[in-house]
Amino acid sequence: MSFGNENRNYYLKDIPLSKAVSILDEWILEAESSFEEEDELIRLEDAVGRVVSGTIFAKISSPITNTAAMDGIATHSSKTIGATDNTPVFLKHVSDYIWIDTGDPMPDGMDSVVMIEDVLKVSEDEIQIRASVYPYQHIRKIAEDIATTEILLQKGSEIRVSDIPCLAAGGYSSISVVRKPRVAIIPTGNELVPIGSIPKPGEVIEFNSLMISTQVQGWGGVPEVLEFLPDESQRIQDKLKEISTKYDLIILIAGSSAGSEDYTSGSIDSIGKVHFHGVAIRPGHPVIFGEVDRTPIFGLPGYPSSTFITSQLFVKKIVLNMLGQTIQLSDFVNAKISRKTMSPMGEDEFIRVNLGKVGGDFIATPSPRGAAMTLSMSRSDGIGHIPSRKEGLDEGDNIVVELTRERRSIENTIILSGSDDIALHLLAEEISDLYKDLRLVTSSVGSVGGLIALSKGYAHLAGSHLLDTETGIYNQSAVTRFLPDQKVRLYDFVGRTQGLIFAKNNQKEISGLKSIVENDCLFINRQIGSGTRLFVDYKLDELNIVRESIRGYDNEEYTHWTVAAAISGGYADVGVGIEAAALSNDLEFIPLGEEKYQLVILEEQLENNPNVYRLIECLKSEKLKAKIDALGGYDVSEMGRYITVD
C-alpha cells in the first residue's frame, strides 16, 4: 500500500483544447499502421453496424438476366403493333408468345411482356391482346439494379440495414469487416467498491467503467473491464506492461489529477510516454494521453461528468479511427440560454442543459454543474459548449448544443419552471402514460424565478406558491406584478402542508419555530425567491422572531427533498418543507400551515400550444389525484380548477 511518498507527476501543461486535439490527430496520423486492421469474415445477418474492411464490388448482376416484371405473355413488341380494345391483335402460333410469370427469365427472341389484364384466351393455341407494348416494356433488364463489378460499399462504410439487400443481391452471404478494436478499461482507486454494494463512509461505487464500456461499444469497439487497481504506482506500471500488447487501447479511470494518490501520469511516463496531461476544459481538466509500446493510453478523470466528456472528446476519435471511420456527426441545435452562466476565460466549458421549444425557439436551461452530478447527466437533453474566449453567457445568448436526446422528444417537451414538488413528477409520469410522445421537464428555480422565466418566454408554464401576506391569497398579486398586461390562468394543482422537518430522535426538543432559537438549533433554509422562504419569513414575522437569531438562517437549499436529505444526513437540525418530503425520508413533521400550489399559464399558450392543453387535461385524471394523495400531506380536491387574472 502506498502512503503518498512516491514521486508524482503534476500537470505537464494545462494546454488549450485545440492543442490537445492537434496532438492526438498527429499521433493518429503517425500511428495508423500500428493498429492491425485484420479482416474478419462475418455472416451477412450479423453485419449491420460493422465497418467494411475494403471496397466491395458486386460478384453478380441483379437481375442476372432479363426477367418478366409482370404476369402475362412474353412476345416480340413488333407483333403487338396496333392492338387496342377496339382493334385487338390475335396471336395464334406458339412461337409468337409464351405464357410467363413475374420473375421468369425472358425467352430468346422476345423483348416485351403484355400484362395478363390485356390478354384474352381464345382457344388452346390462340390469344387476343388489347394493348400494344414497346421494346423491353414490363421487363427487368439484366443488371438493371446491380451490374457485375459495380461498387456496392466503399472501404470504411458502416453497414446499415438498407445495405443488406444490396449485398445479398450482389452475390454475398458473408462480408469481410474491420476487426473491432479491443479496449481495456481499468478503474483505479483504493476507495472503489463494485456496483450493487452499499458503500461505507470513504468508499465509492465504481460505475464509470460501465459508462465507458457502453460508449466504446456504441462506437464499435469491444470493451473489457479489468479488475480494480489500487493507488500504487508499481502495480499500475506492471499492469500496463502486461496488457499493452494484448489490447488496442487502454483506459485508466481516476488517478489522473495531481493529488497524493494520483499516479497515472507518472506510471505511464515511467514505462512509456505522456503526450499531454491537463487540458483547459471544464469538466475534465486532468485528462491524460500517452502510450506504452505504441499502444495508446488515456487517463480519464474520476468524476462521472468529466469521464464522459473527455471520453467523447478524445477516446471516441481514436476508436473510430481504428475502425477506419471519421467522427460521427451529432445532431446540434442553436438555443437561447435561460439564465446567465459564468465560465472562466481561457477554458472550453461543456455544460449539460435541458431543452424545450417555446414560441419557435429552443430554450436551454443549464443543469446543476459539477463533475460528479450523475442525476443531471441522466436528465439532461444535450451538452452546450461555452468557448474559451468567453467569460460565460448572458441570459438570452445563443449556445450551440449537441443533443443527447432525440430531437423529436425535445420538440414535444413542456417546460415548467418554478417551485419544485414531487407531485410534478407524478404529473410528468401521467402525461407520458397518456401521451407517449409528450414529456414534461421541470426547472427548479423557485416561484419567483418561474414567473420571471414565463414572462421572458423561457417556459410554457410556471409552478408557484407565493403568499400575499396582506391578503392571505396565493399567487394573484405576484402574477399581476411579474406578468403585467398578460391574460393568465391560475390552475389549482395541490394544497400542501408546510411545516418543520427534523429527525425522529428530536434531541433538540423541537416543538415549533420559537424552539429553534431557544434550543440553538442549526436551521437550513430555502433560497431567496422561493415560496417556502416567503412562507418562513411570514411565520417568523407573526411570532416576532428576528431572522438573525436563527443559526443557519442563511444556509440555503433549492428543493424540499434536499432540505430533508440534509437533515437525514445530520448536516442540519431542522428546516421547513412539505409533509411529503418528511414522510418520504422517515423524518418528524410539525405542521405550520396550509398553502396553495398553482400552475401559472398564459392564455395564449393554451390557444396556440396543444401540448399545454394536453397537460391541463391530465389534471382531470383520477388516477393522478389518487397517486398524489397517497404521498400524504397533499390536498387534491380542487385540482384542475382555475381563475383568470388579467
134-156, pLDDT tens digit by residue? 999 999 988 888 888 888 888 87
- Per-residue pLDDT, 221: 93
Check the CA dihedral 467-471-472-476 and report its sign. negative
Instruction: Label residue 143 left, alpha or beta by phi (over 0 means left) and psi (-120 to 50 means alpha).
Output: left
**Where is 485: in which H helix or E strand?**
none
Tell me the three cell numbers of residue 334: 442553436
pLDDT at 7 over 60: no
Rounded CA gap, 147 and 248, in Å?
38
What confidence tens digit (pLDDT) does each residue in 108-125 have?
999 999 999 999 999 888
Q: How far is CA 426 from the centre of its chain?
A: 21
Using CA atoms, how far apart are residues 337 and 393, in angstroms rounded to an integer? 8
Tell me, what's the pLDDT at 474? 92
pLDDT at 146: 84
Phi, psi of 487 (to 5 degrees): -90, 120
pLDDT band at residue 370 under the 50/70/90 scheme: low
Mean pLDDT of the 414-425 span = 90
Specify the amino acid at residue 509: E
How confident is residue 37, by pLDDT bands cut at 50, 70 and 90? Answer: low
Q: Is the pLDDT of residue 299 over 60?
A: yes
Q: How many residues make up the chain in this entry?
A: 646
Identify the weakest region by mean pLDDT among 22-26, 254-258, 541-545: 254-258
Q: Quote the cell numbers at residue 405.
A: 436526446
In this structure, how many other beta carbons lie within 10 angstroms of the beta carbon of residue 131?
A: 16
Q: What mean pLDDT is reported for the chain?
A: 89
* Residue 562 vs residues 20, 137, 578, 617: alpha-carbon distances, Å: 39, 75, 12, 31
> Does 93 or 633 have the greater pLDDT score?
633
pLDDT at 326 over 70: no
What's the confidence (pLDDT) of residue 633? 87
The grid coordinates listed for 145 are: 439494379
Cβ atoms of residues 635 and 595 within 8 Å = no
What is the structure's pLDDT at 2? 30
What is the structure's pLDDT at 35? 58
pLDDT in the model for residue 328: 64
Q: Is the pLDDT of residue 12 over 90?
A: no
Residue 485 has pLDDT above 70, yes or no: yes
Q: Residues 512-566: pLDDT tens digits?
A: 999 999 999 999 999 888 888 988 999 999 999 999 999 999 998 888 888 998 9
Residue 325 scores a pLDDT above 70: yes
Task: Give CA–CA dist 244/319, Å, rounded.
Answer: 16
Residue 643 amino acid letter: I
Neighbours of 359 (CB within 10 A): 12
| Choice among 103-107, 114-118, 418-422, 506-510 with the minimum mean pLDDT | 418-422
Query: Residue 372: CB partners within 8 Å, gap ≥ 6?
Result: 303, 304, 305
Quick one: which of 182, 203, 177 has its CA closest to 40?
177
Looking at the whole model, is its pTM more than 0.85? no
Read off the pLDDT band of 10 (50, 70, 90): very low
